[in-house]
Amino acid sequence: MIEVDSATVWNDCLDIIRPDVGDENFGTWFKPIKPVRVDADVLTIQVPSQFFYEWLEEHYVPVLKKAVHTVLGPTGRLEYSVIVDSGNQQNPAVAVNYPNGSANRKSALNGIGADDYSPFTFKALNPQTINSRLNPNYSFDNFVEGDCNRLARSAGLAVAKKPGVTSFNPLMLYGGVGVGKTHLVQSIGNEIKNNLPNKVVLYVDQNDFTSQFLNALQNHKMQEFQNFYLQVDVLILDDVQFLAGREKTQEMFFHIFNQLHQTGKQIIMTSDCPPRDLKGFQERLLSRFKWGLTADLQEPDFETKLAIVHRKMQADGIDMPTEVAEYLAYSVDTNLRDMEGVLNSLIFHATLLKKDIDLDLAKEVLKNIIKEIQSDVSVDFIQKTVADHFKVDLEAMKGKVKKREIVIPRQVAMYFCKRYTQLTLSLIGSNFGGRDHSTVIHALESVEDMMKTDPNFKNTVEELGKRLKMRV
């Protein structure tokens, strides 16, 4: 028997985990973990505290399970070695062992177990007893609506009220990493379960679907596999793009899709891109993805991110000053998953250091997490911030284009360069297509005049100024 190195197994797991949780969460909650041993299909990992262990069990069971199953197979399990006494030079650390899923908490998966929604465990599905694999913490109430997701949320709510009845079947939600796709589809599932308890709802990601299919194929249980899924009233398949190139799995999903759709069952899917951009899929399957509604979720705007920060802090019972919330909303310009990671890190540091959350602590935490956070405001940062806000081409704004839609953002950028940098007027002009100091003076005067006569323009400049000031 080949001996398996625990470090190798855990590193393979980390490669799977990292894209799912984002860099910030990964650094805070997974880097400190140490692999201990591998016994058959059981991986034991060491975590630094009871708090750490409970946090993982509360928030990261799905990603941990996905990684362990991928690396060790469908029977793979995880156990924890939790340090309860860090020890010293004379005395070693003291740890206690817990199996995965034993924390005194509500399971994020409604109770994960050895028979976890197995297609081969049930003869007939009972909507009251089947593990739907839904996280009860995901709901429409805590899904923050904004321009970035309004259509998707509205469609999801319509499906939740009348699954399989609306024209939104299938419902395909797509978007980049960490924009809220999983939150939204699980909110749909939870809403259906709460209002229509006789419906069999099942959430499954493509990795588990594929693993189950391969298991069925190897054990000659294809009919049992198909029969299981045909009993589902609402099927939620997450990350469908990873079915690319899997011909046999696609073939099975094609037949399941057809049967469910023909019998009025609801199909909900997520992807990182719209159906037209999916590669490595059968054309007949892609055509069915387009039958219903396709809606995208985009990166959240400032207002949405600010609302998410406030919602998160309220849920955790934490008082956060408005200036800190605004600083986070301005500074974390990636995705919602990264924002959650930053908030978790901020809470973690405040708890560890026994400090109130303030702007100085937030800046210190973000400086250690996000590379782009700077100690001062540079010309490049001002130019990019202004260009992004006005939605104009950065190079055009820095160049010699004289269209009004470019000139005004350029003048605003010059105004802030004078306000927040130590550059001379000539040096400011040189960063905008080699313009002279008189052009910069004209820009400053134009911005001040427009602020006096146009309240909306004044509000825009003041908001941009607030954002830039946060970086000082």
Distance CA 214, CA 7 (A): 27
Same domain, 291 and 308: no
* Ranges 78-92, 237-251, 308-322: which has the least confidence: 78-92
Query: Is position 355 annotated in a ligand binding site?
Result: no
- Residue with the bigger pLDDT between 123 and 149: it is 149
Residue at 56: amino acid letter: L
151 near 295, Cβ under 8 Å?
A: yes
173 near 295, Cβ under 8 Å?
A: yes
Find the CATH number of the domain harbouring 81.
3.30.300.180
Q: What's the pLDDT score for residue 116?
A: 43
Record the pTM.
0.58
Mean pLDDT of 446-458: 92
* Ranges 6-10, 88-92, 305-309, 403-407: which has the least confidence: 88-92
Find the CATH number of the domain harbouring 455.
1.10.1750.10
Give residue 341's region: left, alpha or beta (phi > 0; psi -120 to 50).
alpha
Of these ranges, 101-115, 143-157, 321-335, the one predicted with the greatest mean pLDDT is: 143-157
Domain boundary among 296, 323, 357: 296
* pLDDT tens for each residue of 59-75: 888 899 899 999 988 88
Distance CA 241, CA 271 (A): 5
Same domain, 157 and 269: yes
Question: What is the band of 373 on the pLDDT scale with cuts at 50, 70, 90?
Answer: very low
Question: What is the band of 57 on the pLDDT scale with cuts at 50, 70, 90?
Answer: confident
Distance CA 195, CA 337 (A): 29
Domain boundary among 99, 128, 163: 99
At CB < 8 A and 24+ separation, what contacts does 28-35 make?
A: 28/341, 28/344, 28/345, 28/348, 29/55, 29/56, 29/59, 29/60, 29/344, 35/6, 35/7, 35/9, 35/10
Task: Say yes or no to pLDDT of 381 above 70.
Answer: yes
> For residue 255, is it within any domain?
yes
- Residue among 33, 16, 30, 23 nearest 339 (CA): 23
Same domain, 322 and 401: no
Mean pLDDT of 417-438: 88
- Residue among 108, 281, 117, 130 nearest 197 (CA): 130
Verify cis geometry, omega within 30 degrees of 0, for the bond prior to 170. Answer: yes
Task: Say yes or no to pLDDT of 335 above 70.
Answer: no
Task: Say yes or no to pLDDT of 108 above 80.
Answer: no
> For residue 231, is it within any domain?
yes
Residue 351, domain extent: 302-369
> For residue 434, is it within any domain?
yes
Q: What's the pLDDT score for residue 446?
A: 93
Q: What's the pLDDT score for residue 111?
A: 33
Q: What's the pLDDT score for residue 363?
A: 81
Same domain, 204 and 283: yes
Same domain, 172 and 44: no
Q: What's the pLDDT score for residue 369?
A: 65
Same domain, 253 and 202: yes
Same domain, 159 and 257: yes
Distance CA 268, CA 295 (A): 11
Q: Give the rounded percent of residues in the chain with a pLDDT score beyond 70.
A: 86
* pLDDT tens for each residue of 251-300: 999 999 999 999 999 999 999 999 999 999 999 999 999 999 999 998 87
* Ranges 11-25, 134-148, 211-225, 366-380: which has the least confidence: 366-380
Query: Is position 270 annotated in a ligand binding site?
Result: no
Domain boundary among 235, 262, 296: 296
> For residue 131, is it within any domain?
no
Same domain, 363 and 386: no
Q: How many domains does the chain have?
A: 4
> For residue 40, is it within any domain?
yes
Query: Is position 341 annotated in a ligand binding site?
Result: no
Same domain, 156 and 266: yes
Query: Is position 280 annotated in a ligand binding site?
Result: no
* pLDDT tens for each residue of 455-472: 999 988 988 887 777 665
> For residue 165, is it within any domain?
yes
Residue at 204: amino acid letter: V
Rg (CA), the chain: 26
**Beta-bridge partner residues of 97:** 81
In angstroms, what CA-CA distances link 33 with 66, 70, 312, 405? 17, 19, 25, 51
What is the rounded average pLDDT for all residues in the chain?
82
Q: What's the pLDDT score for residue 122?
A: 40
Instruction: Report the side by side order of strands in the sheet with 234-238.
Output: 201-205, 234-238, 266-271, 171-174, 293-296
- Residue with the bigger pLDDT between 187 and 354: it is 187
Distance CA 191, CA 142 (A): 12
- Residue with the bigger pLDDT between 467 and 105: it is 467
Find the CATH number of the domain harbouring 322.
1.10.8.60
Give residue 229's region: left, alpha or beta (phi > 0; psi -120 to 50).
alpha
Distance CA 161, CA 281 (A): 31
> For residue 133, is it within any domain?
no
Same domain, 273 and 307: no
> For residue 139, is it within any domain?
no
Q: What's the pLDDT score for residue 276?
A: 92
- Residue among 203, 291, 190 nearest 240 (CA): 203
Q: What's the pLDDT score for residue 453?
A: 92
Same domain, 264 and 205: yes
Find the CATH number of the domain harbouring 276.
3.40.50.300
Distance CA 247, CA 283 (A): 12
Same domain, 79 and 199: no
